[in-house]
Chains A and B, each alone.
Chain A
């Protein structure tokens, strides 16, 4: 069985991705967790490029690694929590049940993955580019697209109202 370039690239991105994702959960310091999450988002963008999702990979870096993570780091530094806030763990029983539940869910997903079959489709030229995705967004998904702008407006107003001390 020959190893293709796609497989090599997949593993180059996938192994550090799982490690950094684990680092988010394991990290004691919230800044370390946030940095692990930034790395995970960048590696995930690489996986998206492998899947020919060029626009989504670009937006992943722009919105997630850029905007959302800056927001997270800003709040972490604004709250300036001491390490004592992070060393308190949940009850051991809850941790074990939570981990078992997650493993069980992955097992259920695994049985569903085993049913997926069939060859991959032949992609049309320009699949996943700004032009192709933009065309779908502005024709077939025009209403959801516009509702998204309303959602973002509500989120902006809601965030200001909730976080402000006095209006």
Chain B
């Protein structure tokens, strides 16, 4: 089966995640959309690993999963801290650095 099918699936997943990041206001939904985009990148790596027979992409996918776990931990901690200080997790309302 052609690698293009997997690349198309990854592109569609990345697009869905990007729509979520750009159009949603809730920080939790935005972070879930970022996870979708990271998974789309992983799928692309693994599709090309299957295409070229190179195991290096599997190592990269492993690192992406580890970085995503760290990102989720720190990001959710920031969401909790923002919620404590402002009582909301709306990404448009958090603009203390801009003012």
Interface residues of B (CB under 8 A from A): 1, 3-9, 11-26, 28-29, 31-33, 35-36, 39, 42-43, 46-47, 49-53, 55-56, 58-59, 61-63, 65-74, 76-81, 83-84, 88-90, 92
Contacts and interface: CB of A to CB of B under 8 A. Distances in A.
Nearest to B13: A21
A145 B25 CA distance: 35
Name A's interface SS: helix
Contacts of B42: 56
Nearest to A152: B70
Interface in A15-72: 17-18, 21-22, 24-25, 27, 30, 33-34, 37, 40-41, 44, 47-48, 51-53, 55-56, 59-60, 63-64, 67-68, 71-72
Interface string A93-123: 0110111011101100110010010101111
Contact of A71 (B22, B52, B73): B73
B67 A136 contact: no
Contact of A44 (B16, B23, B25, B43): B43
Given A55-B58, A59-B65, A155 B70 contact: yes
Contacts of B49: 51, 53, 128
Nearest to A21: B16
Contacts of A86: 26, 29
A95 B29 CA distance: 15
A95 B92 CA distance: 13
Contact of A53 (B58, B67, B69): B58
A12 interface: no
Nearest to A113: B7
A167 interface: no
Contacts of A120: 3, 50-51
